């Protein structure tokens, strides 16, 4: 069975991506715990490529990485690439976002994810993007959540953070990117 390193230290994210790639015969593993990559790219694609390449070079195996962000139309796409660094702590990020939106009636937003595959030499050979559109609520739907607790996904009738595994694969930005990338993974890794 072909091995694939998911370029993240987050075990929940690894499980989520593994479930999204479920039908593919892959042995999925998390990147080495001491591997840290600075996200210095100017796009999701550049950041995902940096992470996939570093994980592939370190493990000498195929690697997959993603980079994602929340893009708010009324804020011209912010926080976007800087979603994780928008402020310290989920509550502060949400507070800042809601203050910047103020009372704007325009609440459309999306989560955008870009996934990249790197071969064992560190060369990024394929990429895909997924987008999940929604509307921002006036306040979080539940306590302790991040931006996921604010984005209402109309198709699912719940927030992004309340999507179940099946909905994440079908409607979520990472799930859409994984599905779009699956044919390339199958071809590049010679999966049956």
Q: What is the pLDDT along the chain (192 residues), one digit of tens a residue?
A: 789 999 998 888 888 898 888 778 888 999 999 999 999 999 999 999 999 999 999 999 999 999 999 999 999 999 999 998 888 877 789 999 999 998 788 999 999 999 999 999 999 999 999 999 999 999 999 998 899 999 999 999 999 999 999 999 999 999 999 999 999 999 999 886
Contacts of 30 (CB under 8 A, 6+ apart): 5, 6, 8, 9, 11, 14
Domain that holds residue 97: 2-188
Residue among 12, 142, 117 at smallest CA distance from 61: 117
**Spatial distance between the Cα atoms of 92 and 96, rounded to a whole number of angstroms:** 6
Number of domains into which the chain is organized: 1
Q: Return the CATH number at 73.
A: 3.90.950.10
Q: What pTM, to 2 d.p., does this model score?
A: 0.92
Q: Does residue 38 have an active-site annotation?
A: no
Say which of 67, 73, 91, 184 is annotated catalytic: 67
């Amino acid at each position: 069975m072909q091995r694939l390193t998911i370029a993240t230290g987050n075990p929940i994210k690894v499980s989520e991506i593994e479930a999204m790639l479920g039908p593919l015969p892959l042995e999925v593993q998390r990147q080495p715990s001491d591997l840290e990559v600075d996200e210095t790219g100017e796009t999701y694609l550049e950041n995902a490529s940096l992470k996939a390449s570093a994980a592939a070079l370190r493990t000498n195996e195929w690697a997959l990485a993603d980079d994602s962000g929340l893009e708010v139309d009324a804020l011209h796409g912010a926080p976007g690439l800087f979603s994780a660094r928008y402020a310290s702590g989920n509550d502060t990020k949400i507070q800042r976002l809601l203050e910047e939106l103020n009372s704007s009636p325009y609440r459309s937003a999306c989560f955008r994810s870009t996934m990249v595959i790197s071969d064992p030499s560190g060369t990024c050979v394929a990429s895909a993007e997924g987008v999940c559109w929604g509307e921002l609520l006036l306040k979080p739907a539940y306590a302790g959540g991040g931006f996921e607790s604010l984005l209402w996904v109309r198709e699912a009738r719940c927030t992004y953070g309340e999507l179940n595994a099946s909905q994440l694969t079908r409607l979520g930005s990472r799930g859409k990117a994984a599905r779009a990338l699956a044919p390339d993974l199958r071809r590049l890794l010679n999966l049956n």
